[in-house]
Amino acid sequence: MLRYLCVGLLAVALPGCGGGSSDAVPITGTVTLDDKPLEGAMVTFHPEGETGGLGGSGRTGPDGKYTLTPARGKDGLPPGGYVVVVNRPLRKDGSLPPPDLPPIESDARESLPAVYSSRTASTLKKTVSKETTTYDIALKSATR
């Protein structure tokens, strides 16, 4: 009898483990650079403060649109605050590196300023809520 009680309690408790996907928010958006779609950029949402989870990332297409894939296969990100990082490595000739080439083997270098591309320096912040699932990101070229 005790065995069945323990199994029953586990069956009730386990669905709540792992961050409660019922609160998960699917994230999409468009990244632009100087008002033009930014192709081939990696967008990463890093949780900050009390925000749970591991964040998520997604690559922009030719139209600059991205969809985040959360860590651990969840349906979205938990509501809360995020530091957003946008990376776009380019080769010396200005082209995107082949998608199957590991970064360590690529001659590509980061093309965006640290205020967008560095987790510690990024000024991009987003607050994810259940009311909003689209988070557009407008970047500007560095002035020299």
Q: Which residues pair with 126 in a beta bridge?
A: 82
pLDDT digits (tens, 9 = 90+) for 65-80: 999 999 877 789 999 9
Burial of residue 53, with CB atoms counted within 10 A of its CB: 0-12 exposed, 13-18 middle, 19 or more buried = buried
Residues 89-135 have pLDDT tens digits of 999 999 999 888 888 888 999 999 999 999 999 999 999 999 999 99
Residue 45, domain extent? 23-139
CATH number at residue 32: 2.60.40.1120
Whose structure tokens read 């979205």? 76
Please report whether residue 49 resides in a domain: yes
Evaluate whether 47 touches 79 at the Cβ level (below 8 Å): no
Q: Indicate whether 112 belongs to any domain.
A: yes
**How many domains does the structure of the chain reveal?**
1
Does the residue 3 lie in any domain?
no
Give residue-wise pLDDT tens across range 25-53: 999 999 999 999 999 999 999 999 999 98
Backbone Cα Rg of the chain: 19
